[in-house]
Structure 1
């Protein structure tokens, strides 16, 4: 759960992002209840909002990094009408676009991957004895 407070934590998967969002939501609800219960006023609410936004920023930046997107895309999440939908799609629904491509730069040095299959050689033909040559106009000496 270090990705909740560290925007440079590294790549996280979709399940980790969803679990982080559930944790952020639970912390927000618990913080609201604590703020109203202890009557800390506007200061407690402001600290809670800043803390929730920071945790959301950290998890979304880590997830955007996982899907090979720039972190500046996080600013589009603040658009009033489509920001939340973009966040859910880019971070929680869409698979990483680079996950299934073949990247040959990470192959081990002793791994040999042929560029093309080896050529197919024709199978050798069995040798069939040729019939004896016919002798025309001569007597067959073997038939007596």
Structure 2
């Protein structure tokens, strides 16, 4: 639960990220219900809100944004990305899709370091010494320049 309030908590997996998103959704619903039951003016007209309703809605929105920031930053760090990717989540058309893919769907082997994988099993140990083999000579690779001829090969 520390990952909900600490953006540098450590590693969280995809399952915990989804669980935390459900917790954030529950906090949002609870905050809205608390605002309705505690601060709503039942005698007031339908024309507007009182100042305490605005405070309750604002606090609920800030809590949701902060908890989502913390969980997404922890998950983005696990996937090998920087926290600046969180800014892309604010894009109106693709932000939510990127957040769900990067934090909740992408499994991605290789560069992603969640620290939860099992270590590879050790190979069989051979009692016989290795046979001598000649050292491998590196092949010379010509460096190519983009859009130019390589003058060193003439």
Name 1:80's counterpart in structure 2: 92
**1:24-82 superposed Cα distances (whole Å, 9 cap, x missing partner):** 00111111111111123101100110011000000000000000101100000000111
Structure 2 residue 106 is matched with structure 1 residue 66 = no
Could you tell me how far apart the structure 1 residues matched to 2:3 and 2:77 are?
12
Could you tell me how far apart the structure 2 residues matched to 1:87 and 1:99 are?
19
Q: CA deviation at 1:3?
A: 0.0
Structure 2 residue 111 is matched with structure 1 residue 95 = no
Normalised by the length of structure 2, the TM-score is 0.64
Which SS does the other structure have where 1:64 is aligned? helix
Contact 2:80 2:111 in 1 (8 A): no
Q: CA deviation at 1:2?
A: 0.3
Aligned residues: 108
**4+ residue runs of structure 1 moved beyond 3 angstroms?**
96-101, 117-120
**1:72-116 superposed Cα distances (whole Å, 9 cap, x missing partner):** 000000001110000000000001443689xxxxx9xxxxx99xx
Normalised by the length of structure 1, the TM-score is 0.68
Which SS does the other structure have where 2:92 is aligned? coil
Select the structure of larger CA radius of gyration.
Answer: 1
Could you tell me how far apart the structure 2 residues matched to 1:62 and 1:50 are?
18
Query: Where does the alignment leave 5 or more consecutive residues of structure 2 unmatched?
Result: 40-51, 114-118, 120-124, 133-154
After superposition, the CA RMSD in angstroms is 2.6
